[in-house]
Amino acid sequence: MLAGGGTAGHVNPLLAVADELSARHPGALLTVLGTAEGLEAELVPERGYPLVVVPKVPLPRRPTPDWLRLPGRLREAVDAAEHALEETEAQVVVGFGGYVSTPAYLAARRRGTPVVIHEQNARPGLANRLGARWASSVAVTFPGTQLAGAQVTGLPLRPEIADLIDERAVDAAGTRVRAAAELGLDPELPTVLVTGGSLGAVSVSSAVVGAAAELLAAGVQVLHLTGKGKAQAVRDQVRELSESGLAAGLAGRYQVREYLSRMQLALAVADLVVARAGAGTVSELAALGLPAVYVPLPIGNGEQRLNARPVVEAGGGVLVPDAELDPRWVVEQLLPLVADPSRLAEMGLAAAGVGVRDAAARVADLVEAAVPTQEATP
């Protein structure tokens, strides 16, 4: 039983481990425990795994009337999770955090079912902090994550990222040329990929497009993924730049899209990435050996800064606070970087040295080890 969901950050590693276990044990029954509201409700059935849903039990961050209803809601979710464990005869629970993991861990403890945990962020979430207290194994993405008995496995990668790593290892130049052709980009130009994830990052977008004239004049090509609903404002700025004459004839090298369903194409052509520092982003870029400018989300508990720390300290990335990223920073710091192929190559090697490419296999090893010997499947 694999438990986790809510966001792609929880679901993608879960599916990567499920795929690894399925490949090793074709006859095994792998069931995913999730909620009806999370992204898992869409992604898990698409991948072909059965999904069992339990009630979503968010923990209020401050005292509200919801606190009074919390015990009853949690009890209902734990009972539903325990029923799922009984129905599937689960030998082990593998949790990835998120709303569904807490009832899964509590149900597993009640039944005496072994638990394996994977924590994606440098700063662990509440569910995994709870489950780690009695887990058989605790896997973490980043060194220094404060969970008892943690083993660094890295973040299990999406299949398309793992495939891109393999393709680049065989024919990096050809992979780049093919990806550029599909995107309508020039494979010969130094290329900056700007992305804020599916939700976008307005401050990052504003800083980079504000330096578009200088980037284009220096011969740089930009692929800017704005996030849904945010592309038009950036397109308008690029068009105004072209019409003003500051980038006459060059605006075609600044490509603006809301998002890419095949993100691996953008990563295949990028020389430098400007992005937030979510665990998935940092892990994928490091595994690919891509240098990056990381701009941690300025809200929350500071986990994104911690996520980026290992690769930045190794020399594979640059960390810039959101408040300091502006067009001037892009011109004075980013532009010299993207214009220096030797430095980019050094950063790429440093990032690759930190990146983990076999994390799904490492987590699967822990899952196999947790299955009681007398019940182990062949």
**Pairing label, strands 93-95, 254-257:** unpaired
**Pairing label, strands 93-95, 115-119:** parallel
- Tell how far CA 96 is from the center of its chain: 13
Q: How many CA atoms lie within 13 A of 81 on its CB side?
A: 35
According to the annotation, is 207 in a ligand binding site?
A: no
According to the annotation, is 121 in a ligand binding site?
A: yes
According to the annotation, is 264 in a ligand binding site?
A: no
According to the annotation, is 304 in a ligand binding site?
A: yes
Query: What is the rounded distance in angstroms from the CA atom of residue 23 to the CA atom of residue 17?
Result: 10
Q: Which amino acid would we find at residue 123?
A: R
Give 319's strand partners: 294
Answer for the pair 131, 105: CB distance below 8 angstroms, yes or no: yes
**Which strand (E) or helix (H) includes residue 193?**
strand 191-195
Query: What is the rounded distance in angstroms from the CA atom of residue 101 to the CA atom of residue 107?
Result: 10
Answer for the pair 40, 31: CB distance below 8 angstroms, yes or no: no
Angle (CA) 363-5-161 rounded to 5° is: 55
Residues 6 or more apart in contact with residue 131 via CB below 8 angstroms: 95, 101, 102, 105, 115, 117
276 is written with which tokens? 């937030």
Phi, psi of 31 (to 5 degrees): -120, 140
According to the annotation, is 7 in a ligand binding site?
A: yes
According to the annotation, is 73 in a ligand binding site?
A: no
Distances (CA, A) of 91 to 18, 29, 108, 138, 345: 14, 10, 10, 17, 46
According to the annotation, is 9 in a ligand binding site?
A: yes
Known binding site for UDP-N-acetyl-alpha-D-glucosamine: residues?
A: 7-9, 121, 158, 198, 304
Known binding site: residues?
A: 7-9, 121, 158, 198, 304
